[in-house]
Chains A and B, each alone.
Chain A
């Protein structure tokens, strides 16, 4: 269960997020006002803060964010914005945001990103050896094994697999993969990511009893040995 603080002046959008999170069993508190938001953010302990950039009275959410960071608050913050430019994105991340999501977004994208953020903030420092079921990746040497048998991967495939393993059992979206594995923030028109994933899947899952890489329809992918509910293919 996550404790989420939603700082958003658009009541409808805030309620939509809170309701969706509640359905997944998380608790969220909505805050519409920027002054109150700062108090709330500093007084209680949160797993994640969802911060809208545009707040009432012309307050830029980034101002709240940098204040929080200057107070030593390290809670992961996901910045929401209707501003599309990559520049905006970069300034959001520079102000101390951990991720940036542009409105309108799908709820599954939001949840996938929150998941990745929370995992990252809770993960210990020792992430040099990743393991999911019988799949093991050694990040220092770049070696990957499945059931003790080595798998040969291209550098980019290794990055892709690492990202999936870091977010094991959670959904990662195509845009998350593009941003974190390829460092691209644009949207390639064709299904390049799907094809990259299926190439990786052939290397990881071929000849294995259980497949680990699953497609989540309408959302993205997950790497897990538990078969997800919404799997298709």
Chain B
């Protein structure tokens, strides 16, 4: 049966439509196209009503003139002149026959004209539209009615054929235009969908392949600078960052493995040394204390590493708010003042007031403490902490007058486990966490020699929070 045969075809067609419908590009183009058609349609309808209006005015004028002519005849030669004029007019137009006349006397008897019978007419004297019988056929037309002083009634009018033809033409034009536009819109939507799919396709393919682990892949570079090439560029930048972080993680785990080994070896050695029977209680105690100390150190180390990776992952940013770096620095300087005094180092703070930084107070204090801690380790007799809020950035500098470090080593400062001076105690994580804290705050870390050409100056620059 026909119905059965058409069902699979319909279903296939439906599937195709729904597939296209699920494409954003298709929907957007289609909706946009339909909107355009709608606006054009409104415009065309406006033009249509204007044209019809003009034609009607023209017709009305034409009928008016004919009426005036006949009235002139009546004034000159009475009703017979009018009858003659009508007969003449009808005879002239036998071929075209567009003017319509009917003249009746007061009793409704036809005196002249080509219209069969008087029609029901509205009470007013203006233009009206109606159907009449012309040579046995019904025709539509626009008419005016005039009553002569002797009681004769004149129906004068014009066939509507011309207006109808023009309006038909316009409507046909509109119809054809809309149909064509619809076809173009659907076609356009399809083409756009194809293009869209092609542009997104590269991105999708790359994303699909990166998922299982091919992290070095990048989205092919697109020419031009449209939205898609921007998107590709942004995605590539994101991938670069992810890859960098993952490489960092790999590097760190290698280093951790290495750094864990050393204390583990030491612990093992300590335990081995008291493992034999007859080890003294004092010896055992020393070994246990030593191992406990090593474990504490390892614990601290792991804690710091965890903190750094937490910082690098940017988890802490949700606790950010406007903080006064001058007060934070003052608190930390206060904490370290006793230690500085103990080491006979002058720890001085020079801070601009209201140095506001968007950030986390605890982390900023932590960074500051790390820098002061370092500076106090190496300083000869002065450590100067400065907070400046005058320029483009809010700057914290910590400067010591110690031995400083060679220029080439400054490049590696801030790497995890990097320690230019291994004679001092430390884990090699202080500057790494400072670096992580600063970059979490969107700032930068720089190293240079101190003011006198000696020592080390560490400079943290934080962006000023947007005012307002």
Q: Do residues A190 and B341 form an inter-chain contact, with CB atoms below 8 A?
A: no
A102 to B430, CA, bound (A): 21
Q: Do residues B303 and A187 form an inter-chain contact, with CB atoms below 8 A?
A: yes
Q: Do residues A84 and B307 form an inter-chain contact, with CB atoms below 8 A?
A: yes
Q: Do A192 and B336 contact each other (CB < 8 Å), given the known contacts A84-B307, A85-B310?
A: yes
Q: Specify which chain B residues have a CB less than 8 angstroms from the CB of A199 in the assembled complex.
A: 338, 341
CB within 8 Å of B: which A35-53 residues = none
Q: Do residues B300 and A187 form an inter-chain contact, with CB atoms below 8 A?
A: yes
Q: Specify which chain B residues have a CB less than 8 angstroms from the CB of A186 in the assembled complex.
A: 307, 362, 365-366, 369
For residue A122, CB closer than 8 A to chain B, the reply is: no
Q: Do A85 and B315 contact each other (CB < 8 Å), given the known contacts A186-B369, A190-B377?
A: yes
CB within 8 Å of B: which A83-104 residues = 84-87, 102, 104
Q: How far is the CB of B294 from chain A (nearest CB, A)?
A: 13
Q: Do A188 and B369 contact each other (CB < 8 Å), given the known contacts A85-B310, A195-B342?
A: yes
Q: Do A196 and B338 contact each other (CB < 8 Å), given the known contacts A84-B303, A186-B362?
A: yes
**Residue from B289, B338, B427 in contact with A195 in the complex, judged by beta carbons closer than 8 Å:** B338
Contact with B along A181-218 (1 / 0, CB 8 A): 01011111111100110110000000000000000001
Interface range, B side: 20 to 34
Q: Specify which chain B residues have a CB less than 8 angstroms from the CB of A106 in the assembled complex.
A: 296
Q: Do A156 and B339 contact each other (CB < 8 Å), given the known contacts A84-B303, A104-B299, A189-B373?
A: no
Q: Specify which chain A residues have a CB less than 8 angstroms from the CB of B272 in the assembled complex.
A: none
For residue B331, CB closer than 8 A to chain A, the reply is: yes
**Residue from B292, B296, B315, B365 in contact with A87 in the complex, judged by beta carbons closer than 8 Å:** B315
Q: Do A190 and B316 contact each other (CB < 8 Å), given the known contacts A182-B335, A184-B362, A195-B342?
A: no
Q: How far is the CB of B371 from chain A (nearest CB, A)?
A: 11
A102 to B369, CA, bound (A): 22
A198 to B338, CA, bound (A): 9
Chain B residues touching A, majority SS: helix
Residue on B with the closest CB to A186? B366
Q: Do A192 and B339 contact each other (CB < 8 Å), given the known contacts A84-B303, A184-B362, A186-B365?
A: yes
CB within 8 Å of A: which B305-325 residues = 306-307, 310, 315-316, 318-319
Q: How far is the CB of A85 from chain B (nearest CB, A)?
A: 6
Residue on A with the closest CB to B426? A189
Q: Specify which chain A residues have a CB less than 8 angstroms from the CB of B102 in the assembled complex.
A: none
Q: Specify which chain B residues have a CB less than 8 angstroms from the CB of A87 in the assembled complex.
A: 315-316, 318-319
Interface range, A side: 20 to 34
**Residue from B296, B303, B365, B427 in contact with A184 in the complex, judged by beta carbons closer than 8 Å:** B365
For residue B229, CB closer than 8 A to chain A, the reply is: no
For residue B370, CB closer than 8 A to chain A, the reply is: yes
Q: Do A189 and B362 contact each other (CB < 8 Å), given the known contacts A104-B299, A195-B338?
A: no
**Residue from A86, A102, A188 in contact with B362 in the complex, judged by beta carbons closer than 8 Å:** A86
For residue B287, CB closer than 8 A to chain A, the reply is: no
Q: Specify which chain A residues have a CB less than 8 angstroms from the CB of B335 in the assembled complex.
A: 156, 182, 184, 188, 192, 196
A188 to B366, CA, bound (A): 8
For residue B376, CB closer than 8 A to chain A, the reply is: yes
Residue on B with the closest CB to A105? B299
Q: Do A84 and B373 contact each other (CB < 8 Å), given the known contacts A186-B362, A186-B366, A191-B339?
A: no
For residue B334, CB closer than 8 A to chain A, the reply is: yes
Q: Do residues A195 and B339 form an inter-chain contact, with CB atoms below 8 A?
A: yes
Q: How far is the CB of B423 from chain A (nearest CB, A)?
A: 15
Q: Specify which chain A residues have a CB less than 8 angstroms from the CB of B289 in the assembled complex.
A: 218
Q: Specify which chain B residues have a CB less than 8 angstroms from the CB of A102 in the assembled complex.
A: 303
Q: Do residues B362 and A192 form an inter-chain contact, with CB atoms below 8 A?
A: no
Q: Specify which chain B residues have a CB less than 8 angstroms from the CB of A195 in the assembled complex.
A: 338-339, 341-342
A218 to B289, CA, bound (A): 9
The 3 closest A-B CB pairs, nearest first, are A195-B338, A186-B366, A195-B339
Additional 8 contacts, C-beta under 8 A, given A184-B335, A185-B362: A84-B306, A85-B310, A85-B316, A87-B316, A186-B369, A187-B300, A188-B369, A195-B339
Query: Which A residues have a C-beta under 8 Å from some C-beta of B?
Result: 84-87, 102, 104, 106, 156, 182, 184-192, 195-196, 198-199, 218
Q: What are 25 of the A-B contact pairs (CB < 8 Å)?
A: A84-B306, A84-B310, A85-B316, A86-B316, A86-B319, A87-B318, A104-B299, A156-B334, A182-B331, A184-B335, A184-B365, A185-B362, A186-B369, A187-B303, A188-B335, A189-B370, A189-B426, A189-B430, A190-B373, A191-B339, A192-B338, A192-B373, A195-B341, A218-B289, A218-B292
